[in-house]
């Protein structure tokens, strides 16, 4: 794939002219990007073919990662980096009078995911290719990604995100690989001459699933894997059956738009159609591949692993059963054995509102044959387990109950592995949320703590830090992330600490520039940048952050001379459009920003920056500029978190509750390099169990907190009369579901410790250094190797 600069320049000019019939100098940034994208795709295509051919020839076991969401971010620089030609292309572009970064920004950031779960899937795709594993992604090619967020008068407004407006240079439409997915219809049975039952499934509504493939380039290893996203279309030759505009619209609707909910499920018909659509298409194309190998069906699990990312693709289980039973004529026991051995499942949340449950009648109408199979799985499960575990426990694990189908139960029963995404999360699954299943299947449960790819989150997002690390510890950390620990040897090296401070300052200036240009806000790069970037959710407690800001505000109002560290509070968060409370919090934060940013008495000691339309690209700008990483969810609620890992890798110090992967971050950096506060998970559990929490009581007895809370309702903050009242009531009158009031004091204390630490530059730089140096174990390369070794049973290619 290598180039020399001259060769690249020639090829780029040629590609551009062939595409647009004029010189690149006259092209728009978008055109310049498209030409570069086309050139790059052409450049890896040989390796792409080669990789797939080799897998097929060697009949290597392959994993298929089924995920409703992938959140790759812009792909140009990531592909260039992994191909090992980033520097060469950068120089070539420069010699052509172009700035690679500017051209790269013309790529539309495809927001085909909501948050952590989708981004994790993309980090995993990068790591699967980069560690040399035979792996494929399987998902949906949404016509519209997650909505674009705008603030109007401080309120969130959602606009459609037409990410395909300028053509997607990375995807390849594979019409010849399309499959038919069937909905509805009538099921009946007839008996063959040999006595076998034959299933007749007729009068179905048939939808064509067309795959669009995108290369997943491994890091300097020549491996190029495949991500397959399916699009719904009218079957060729079947146009007559979809003669009205409405019928045609219904087909297209299936892959039209991503549901904008994060850790919350919407029990809509269209959503379950999406889930079956991509699960069925994926399973069908896998079976088609396996059949070409001409092996005995019993070898299926030796060649194929299907991983389901949360319960969204769970219908892959009954779909595989259906194909093996109805189309391939296997017996139930054979099919069941194969299915269980093939499928594994990751749970990403314990929140009840995120647990998918579908009305039985909905599934029965939409997928009559799948419904029968689920019923049979359920019947056999109960028959088998009730004598062993008793009626009560067994019925609690039933797939169908009270007219609902519980997807997590189906996923656990129909797979051989169930994992959580951080140690604490897995412990809670085992001890509590999924305890009944743990009693039945202890061997299925395991932990796989999430990870992130430092290729995107350090090498691409933070070039300053990358250069500084290369200079200080060499370049091995790029291929072996653990090697970054060598940096610890420099913890007392003043020169290195100063350099690190300069790197951070440069990144903060870059963000300040953005705030000035895009938001018309002046911020001081020397202030402490305090960052909370994640979806807006009550359990993530952005409001606790707000209470701290208001507390500071009051102190400065009382005494403008009070010795407080100058801080810039940076927020990025989208709220699900129907999540009313979350949207009220957005409005509140924007109103407080207006108030404080424009109050001359505060004298810039506090600035609040709430960026619009937070996503992967903005994360790449903000994370390298962060001093503090806010990870302040109520203990037990955040399954893992992954921004915590990205921020630590970039030298931010974590302000954390002992939740999700924060616990493991603490274990790695040590208590002196993190700020821990708040209730522990067991304490929260205990409060829920004995029900003695009384937030009103705390409000009455804590004058400092009371004063802060009263700001929400006393007119101090203009324009939030309704929001302020509702939020106040949720905390004080309706007993504060997420214990903000309980954790307030210890949070404030931790924040003042952070102020003190920050004012000692050497101390702070050392903390930042220790965070970077301890971030290696959170590489998704290691996470993925553990999945491969312990769950999928596949080995890196040699
Ligand atoms: N919302 C968890 O809440 C975790 C990611 C990826 C989440 C978050 O803590 O880091 O998954 N859960 O494992 C779901 O999406 C259901 C998330 O992103």
Q: What pLDDT, on the 0 to 100 scale, is given for residue 241?
A: 83
Instruction: Give the pLDDT band of residue 20 (cuts 50, 70, 90).
Output: very high
Give the Cα separation of 324 and 1 in Å (integer): 41
Q: Are 324 and 339 in contact (CB under 8 A)?
A: yes
Q: Which pair of tokens denotes residue 105?
A: 């920004």
Coil vs helix vs strand at 229? strand
Give the Cα separation of 621 and 795 in Å (integer): 35
Report the percent of the chain where pLDDT is more than 70: 100
Strand partners, 191: 197
Q: What pLDDT, on the 0 to 100 scale, is given for residue 389?
A: 98
Q: What pLDDT, on the 0 to 100 scale, is given for residue 239?
A: 80
Q: Give the pLDDT confidence of 177-225 residue by residue, as tens digits.
A: 999 999 999 999 999 888 888 999 999 999 999 999 999 999 999 999 9
Ligand 1 atom with the shortest distance to the CA of 118: 18
175, 185, 369 from 204: Cα distances, Å: 22, 4, 11
Tell me phi and psi for residue 596, to 5 degrees: -75, -40
Q: Give the pLDDT confidence of 570-601 residue by residue, as tens digits.
A: 999 999 999 999 999 999 999 999 999 999 99
198 is catalytic: no
Q: Which pair of tokens denotes residue 206?
A: 């048939």
CA 483 to chain centre: 26
Question: Would you say the CB of residue 641 lies under 6 angstroms from ligand 1?
Answer: yes
Give the Cα separation of 132 and 768 in Å (integer): 32
Question: Would you say the CB of residue 452 lies under 6 angstroms from ligand 1?
Answer: no
pTM above 0.95, yes or no: yes
Q: Are 122 and 562 in contact (CB under 8 A)?
A: no
535 is catalytic: yes
Q: What pLDDT, on the 0 to 100 scale, is given for residue 243?
A: 83
Q: Which pair of tokens denotes residue 315?
A: 């219908």
Q: What pLDDT, on the 0 to 100 scale, is given for residue 237?
A: 84
128, 228, 248, 520, 590 from 612: Cα distances, Å: 32, 30, 35, 13, 11
Question: Would you say the CB of residue 349 lies under 6 angstroms from ligand 1?
Answer: yes
Question: Would you say the CB of residue 263 lies under 6 angstroms from ligand 1?
Answer: yes
Best substitution site from 70, 121, 263 to test ligand 1's pocket, by max atoms within 8 Å of Cβ? 263
Q: DSSP letters along 525-546, please?
A: TTSEEEEEES---GGGTHHHHH
Cα 781 to averaged position of ligand 1 atoms, centre (Å):
19
**pLDDT beyond 80 at 2:** no
Question: Would you say the CB of residue 262 lies under 6 angstroms from ligand 1?
Answer: yes
Average pLDDT over residues 49-69: 97
Nearest to 661 by CA among 543, 778, 531, 773: 778
Ligand 1 atom with the shortest distance to the CA of 641: 10
Q: Are 397 and 385 in contact (CB under 8 A)?
A: yes
**CATH 3.30.230.10 describes domain 59-74+109-416:** no
Q: Which pair of tokens denotes residue 654?
A: 């974590």
Considering only the top CATH level, what class is 472-678+743-777? Answer: alpha beta
444 is catalytic: no
Give the Cα separation of 100 and 326 in Å (integer): 54
Average pLDDT over residues 532-559: 98
Active-site option among 43, 455, 456, 540: 540
Least confident interval from 186-200, 433-447, 509-523, 753-767: 186-200
Mean pLDDT across the chain: 97
Q: What pLDDT, on the 0 to 100 scale, is given for residue 1?
A: 63
Coil vs helix vs strand at 329? coil
Cα 109 to averaged position of ligand 1 atoms, centre (Å):
20
Question: Would you say the CB of residue 113 lies under 6 angstroms from ligand 1?
Answer: no
Cα 428 to averaged position of ligand 1 atoms, centre (Å):
15
Active-site option among 339, 397, 642, 657: 642
Coil vs helix vs strand at 122? helix
Question: Would you say the CB of residue 354 lies under 6 angstroms from ligand 1?
Answer: yes
Instruction: Give the pLDDT band of residue 74 (cuts 50, 70, 90).
Output: very high
Give the Cα separation of 355 and 796 in Å (integer): 34
Cα 112 to averaged position of ligand 1 atoms, centre (Å):
15
Ligand 1 atom with the shortest distance to the CA of 120: 6
DSSP class of 404: E
Give the Cα separation of 354 and 691 in Å (integer): 23
Ligand 1 atom with the shortest distance to the CA of 450: 13
Best substitution site from 313, 346, 349, 419 to test ligand 1's pocket, by max atoms within 8 Å of Cβ? 349
349 is catalytic: no
Q: What pLDDT, on the 0 to 100 scale, is given for residue 179?
A: 98
Q: What pLDDT, on the 0 to 100 scale, is given for residue 698?
A: 98
Average pLDDT over residues 680-708: 96
Crossing angle for the helix pair 368-389 and 332-342, to the nearest 10 degrees: 90
Average pLDDT over residues 242-261: 93
DSSP class of 85: -
**pLDDT beyond 80 at 42:** yes
Q: Which pair of tokens denotes residue 391?
A: 């009626």
Instruction: Give the pLDDT band of residue 81 (cuts 50, 70, 90).
Output: very high
Question: Would you say the CB of residue 310 lies under 6 angstroms from ligand 1?
Answer: yes
Are 59-74+109-416 and 472-678+743-777 the same fold in CATH? yes
Q: What pLDDT, on the 0 to 100 scale, is given for residue 197?
A: 85
Active-site option among 228, 535, 548, 583: 535
Q: Give the pLDDT confidence of 276-320 residue by residue, as tens digits.
A: 999 999 999 999 999 999 999 999 999 999 999 999 999 999 999
Spell out the domain ranges in the chain: 59-74+109-416, 472-678+743-777
642 is catalytic: yes
Question: Would you say the CB of residue 640 lies under 6 angstroms from ligand 1?
Answer: yes
53 is catalytic: no
Average pLDDT over residues 75-86: 98
Q: What pLDDT, on the 0 to 100 scale, is given for residue 31?
A: 98
Question: Would you say the CB of residue 679 lies under 6 angstroms from ligand 1?
Answer: no
Question: Would you say the CB of residue 397 lies under 6 angstroms from ligand 1?
Answer: no
Q: Are 776 and 483 in contact (CB under 8 A)?
A: yes
């Amino acid at each position: 794939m290598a180039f020399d600069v001259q060769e690249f320049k020639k090829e780029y000019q040629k590609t551009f002219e062939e595409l647009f019939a004029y010189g690149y100098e006259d092209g728009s940034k978008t055109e310049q990007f498209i030409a570069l994208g086309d050139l790059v795709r052409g450049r890896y295509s040989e390796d792409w073919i080669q990789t797939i051919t080799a897998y097929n020839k060697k009949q290597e076991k392959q994993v298929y990662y089924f995920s409703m969401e992938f959140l790759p971010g812009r792909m140009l620089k990531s592909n260039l980096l992994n191909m090992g030609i980033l520097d060469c292309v950068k120089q070539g572009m420069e010699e052509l009078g172009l700035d690679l970064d500017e051209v790269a920004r013309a790529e539309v950031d495809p927001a085909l995911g909501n948050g952590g779960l989708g981004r994790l899937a993309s980090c995993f795709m990068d790591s699967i290719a980069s560690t040399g594993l035979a792996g494929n992604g399987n998902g949906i090619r949404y016509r519209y990604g997650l909505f674009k967020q705008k603030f109007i008068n401080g309120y969130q407004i959602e606009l459609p995100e037409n990410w395909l407006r300028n053509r997607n240079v990375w995807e390849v439409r594979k019409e010849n690989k399309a499959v038919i997915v069937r909905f509805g219809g009538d099921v009946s049975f007839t008996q063959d001459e040999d006595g076998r039952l034959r299933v007749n499934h007729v009068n179905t509504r048939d939808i064509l699933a067309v795959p669009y493939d995108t290369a997943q380039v491994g890091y300097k290893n020549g491996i190029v894997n495949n991500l397959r996203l399916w699009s719904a279309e009218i079957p060729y030759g079947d146009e007559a059956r979809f003669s009205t505009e409405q019928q045609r619209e219904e087909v297209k609707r299936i892959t039209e738009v991503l549901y904008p909910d994060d850790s919350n499920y919407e029990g809509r018909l269209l959503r379950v159609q999406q889930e079956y659509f991509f699960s069925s298409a994926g399973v069908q194309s896998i079976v088609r591949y396996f059949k070409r190998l001409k092996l005995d069906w019993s070898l299926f699990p030796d060649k194929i692993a299907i991983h389901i990312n949360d319960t969204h693709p769970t219908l892959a289980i009954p779909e595989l059963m259906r194909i093996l039973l109805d189309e391939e004529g296997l017996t139930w026991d054979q099919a069941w054995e194969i299915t269980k051995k093939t499928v594994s499942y990751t749970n990403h949340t314990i929140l009840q509102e995120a647990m998918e449950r579908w009305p039985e009648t909905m599934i029965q109408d939409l997928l009559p044959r799948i419904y029968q199979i689920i019923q049979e799985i359920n019947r056999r499960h109960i028959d088998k387990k009730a004598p062993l575990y008793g009626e009560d426990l067994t019925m609690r694990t039933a797939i169908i109950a009270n007219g609902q189908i519980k997807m997590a139960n189906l996923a656990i029963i129909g797979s051989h592995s169930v994992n959580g995404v951080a140690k604490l999360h897995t412990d809670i699954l085992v001890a509590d949320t999924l305890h009944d299943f743990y009693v039945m299947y202890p061997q299925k449960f395991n932990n796989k703590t999430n990870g992130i790819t430092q290729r995107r989150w350090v090498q691409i997002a933070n070039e300053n830090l990358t250069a500084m690390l290369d200079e200080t510890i060499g370049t091995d950390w790029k291929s072996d992330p653990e090697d970054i620990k060598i940096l610890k040897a420099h913890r007392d090296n003043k020169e290195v600490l100063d350099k690190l401070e300069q790197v951070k300052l440069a990144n903060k200036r870059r963000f300040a520039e953005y705030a000035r240009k895009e938001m018309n806000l002046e911020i001081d790069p020397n202030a402490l940048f305090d960052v909370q970037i994640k979806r807006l959710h009550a359990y993530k407690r952005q409001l606790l952050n707000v209470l701290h800001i208001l507390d500071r505000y009051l102190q400065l109002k009382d005494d403008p001379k009070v010795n407080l560290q100058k801080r810039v509070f940076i927020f990025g968060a989208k709220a699900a459009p129907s999540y009313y409370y979350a949207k009220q919090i957005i409005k509140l934060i924007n109103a407080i920003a207006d108030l404080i940013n424009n109050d001359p008495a505060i004298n810039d000691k506090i600035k609040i920056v709430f960026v619009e339309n937070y996503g992967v690209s903005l994360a790449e700008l903000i994370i390298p500029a962060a001093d503090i990483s806010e990870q302040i969810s109520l203990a037990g609620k955040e399954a893992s978190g992954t921004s915590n890992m990205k921020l630590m890798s970039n030298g931010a110090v974590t302000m954390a509750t002992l939740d999700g992967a924060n616990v493991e971050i603490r274990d790695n950096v040590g208590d002196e390099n993190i700020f821990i506060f708040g209730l522990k998970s067991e304490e929260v559990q205990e409060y829920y169990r004995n029900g003695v929490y009384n937030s009103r009581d705390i409000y009455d007895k804590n004058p400092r907190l009371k004063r802060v809370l009263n700001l929400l309702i006393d007119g101090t903050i203009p324009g939030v009369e309704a929001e302020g009242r509702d939020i106040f009531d949720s905390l004080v009158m309706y007993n504060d579901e997420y214990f903000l009031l309980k954790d307030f004091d210890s949070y404030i204390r931790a924040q003042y410790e952070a102020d003190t630490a920050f004012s000692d530059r050497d101390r702070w730089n050392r903390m930042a250094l220790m965070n970077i140096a301890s971030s290696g174990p959170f590489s998704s390369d290691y996470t993925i190797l553990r999945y491969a070794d312990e769950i999928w049973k596949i080995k890196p290619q040699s």
